[in-house]
Amino acid sequence: MLTLEQAQQKIIAGIRPATLKETVELAEANGRYLAATVIAKVGNPVFDNSAMDGYALNTADIIGDRPVLPLQGESSCGSAPSKLASGTTMRIFTGAPVPEGADAVVIQEDIKREGDTIVLPHSIQAGQNIRRRGEDFHQGDKLYERGRRLHPYDIALLATAGLAEVSVYRRARVLVVATGDELVSPGTPLRPGQIYESNRLATLLQLRNLGIETVDGGTVKDDITALRDMLADSGGYDFVITSGGVSVGDHDLVKQVFAEIGEINFWKAKIKPGKPVAFGHIGERTHFFGLPGNPVSSLVTFKLFVEPALIAWHHCMPQNLILQAKAANDFHRHPGRTQFLRARLFTENGQLLAQVLPGQGSHMVASLRDTNGFIRLEETQSAIRVGDPISVIPLIIGD
């Protein structure tokens, strides 16, 4: 059976990445992946400007212990000031252009106004309170590489650099299907043996958080013909994600249908929860994931396998954020698989701590209420004790 890392490597190696690009306006670019490098159209700052409200002057005019200069003119935001006349000072505001001839700005709190003359401090450094043109970045600088996912702060940077639109990869189109004879939608009364379906909904919403175009394939019975019909046209999607039916029971038919219509790359990984998990391809372009039916297994395998696959499909390198924490309580288990425990991460006296939450069965979802991260136990690890160093994966909500 593949280890977690082997399974993840097989997935990344098996990705057939996006080829189609589109140009979108900045307001539509949030969460999208860049399909080309981005070059600054203008630098930042665009021109030398004042960092403070105050008075612009030339330090060569500052003479004696009580320098005094006549006030002449004003530089305000949004217009070009005239040249600073030699031996004068000019009123200036934050963000306004520094007039030609000036090399410093004195903040208004440090001067004394006497009619039309300004009494200045005797010590003024050339360059003080001036934001230099291009000190942040220059026109023509490369701001982003291809494959970067754009967040609101990136959009702000792109707007500053004068870009109105960017080239991004087309969003992945993903079909999500739940399988199981027992599943009904919330809102329907339960008949004997039935339960409410939750995985498909959670998967669809996680995909939408990643900026993916989703298609809800509904719930299909554990019936070979129904499954074949549902998956027959799946070659038009970039990914097909099913839930349930990938284990070894008599009614676990998803794997069989995938094997008929496509090529299974693997169908098991040495992880807990989530051992029965299938990955493969249908035709040239479609990737499929058969995720396990237990709700927590479905969430964990989505995070470990589906999310990195989708990121890689958009030409971006998936990053695994693993932090070092200390165990806040004891936990014992049978070693053998890499295990992910639902945990509450918190800090105490500057130390990151992780508490194993009660209710770790892969069918138990109540603990998700307090889960803000996973503790990762290595294959050979059988116990953790209070204070032990442990690896944790924070779940960044909203990203």
| Residue (161 or 178) nearer to ligand AMP, CB | 178
Comparing CA positions, the residue from 219, 221, 225, 298 lying closest to residue 260 is 225
Of 200, 272, 337, 342, which one interacts with ligand AMP (CB under 6 A)? Answer: 200
- 295 sits near ligand AMP (criterion: CB under 6 A): yes
Within 277-306, the residues that bind Mg ion by CB under 5 A are 293
Residue 182 to residues 100, 195, 237, Cα–Cα distance (Å): 78, 6, 27
294 in contact with ligand AMP (CB under 6 A): yes
Contact between 50 and 95 under an 8 Å Cβ cutoff? The reply is yes
Cα–chain-centroid distance for residue 86? Answer: 53
- Binding flag, residue 183, ligand AMP (CB under 6 A): yes
Stretch that binds ligand AMP, among 75-83, 88-96, 110-118, 194-202 (CB under 6 A): 194-202
Q: Supply the minimum distance, in Å, between the C-beta of residue 239 and ligand AMP.
A: 17
For residue 97, state whether it binds ligand AMP (rule: CB under 6 A): no
Distances (CA, A) of 276 to 252, 270, 287, 360, 393: 11, 9, 17, 18, 22
Query: Cβ distance 353 to 346 under 8 Å?
Result: yes
If one asks whether residue 180 binds Mg ion (CB under 5 A), the answer comes out as yes
| Least separation in angstroms between CB 235 and ligand AMP | 24
Residue from the set 1, 39, 190, 195 that interacts with ligand AMP by CB under 6 A: 195
Which C-beta is closer to Mg ion: that of 244 or that of 373? 244
Pairing relation of β-strands 38-39 and 142-144? antiparallel
Burial zone of 169 (CB within 10 Å; 0-12 exposed, 13-18 middle, 19+ buried): buried
Among 182, 223, 307, 379, binds ligand AMP (CB under 6 A): 182
Instruction: Report d(CA 248, CA 258) in Å as an integer.
Output: 14
Please, which of residues 296-355 interact with ligand AMP by CB under 6 A?
Answer: none
Q: Give me the residues that bind Mg ion (CB under 5 A), please.
A: 180, 244-245, 293
